[in-house]
Amino acid sequence: MAKPLGFTEFMRRLSKKCKLSEKTVRKVYDNLFLLMAEELRFTGSVKLKRIGTFTLVQRGGKDKMVPRPDGSLESKFIEPYFTIHFKPVGEFHNYVNGKLVDKEARKRVRKNELNKSDKALLKLTVEDKDRNLEIALEKFAEEVKNGER
């Protein structure tokens, strides 16, 4: 598997794609983070179109029996805390898997009546081939650098 995309590289690519400066993209990213955290904290869920839903789920806040070294059980209170659950939208899930969104999208491709989402997905599949080639070349260069080839 390829090396994961780091934050700096992600910001660089996003700034290229949006045709904005990296500084502007970082500001937007930071404000998005703060706004999402604030909304999650106060409303319990954030729904982002074409990405998915983030929800808070409370854990803990209960008594748990914990064994002691002498073999007896001791009751301990687990403090309540929140975890964040993410449920992707079907469209996002399909993009990640490289599939057209639904049967209707396949019909639109056959009829050559593509909407914005379909065009973006078809563009992504072409970019996937380029990206896979880029990853393979990076891996090869790393092997050469490490003396494995």
Between helix 103-111 and helix 116-145 the angle, nearest 10°, is: 100
- The model's pLDDT over 65-92, given as tens digits with 9 standing for 90+, comes to 888 888 889 888 888 889 999 999 877 7
Contact 53, 47 (CB under 8 A): yes
Give the residue among 103, 104, 101 at the shortest CA–CA distance from 125.
101
Mean pLDDT of 15-38: 92
Mean per-residue pLDDT of the chain: 81
The predicted structure's pLDDT at residue 99: 65
User: What Rg do the C-alpha atoms of the chain give, in angstroms?
Assistant: 23
Entry pTM: 0.59
> What separation in angstroms does the CA of 49 have from each of 53, 92, 110?
9, 10, 27
More confident residue, 107 or 10: 10
The predicted structure's pLDDT at residue 96: 75
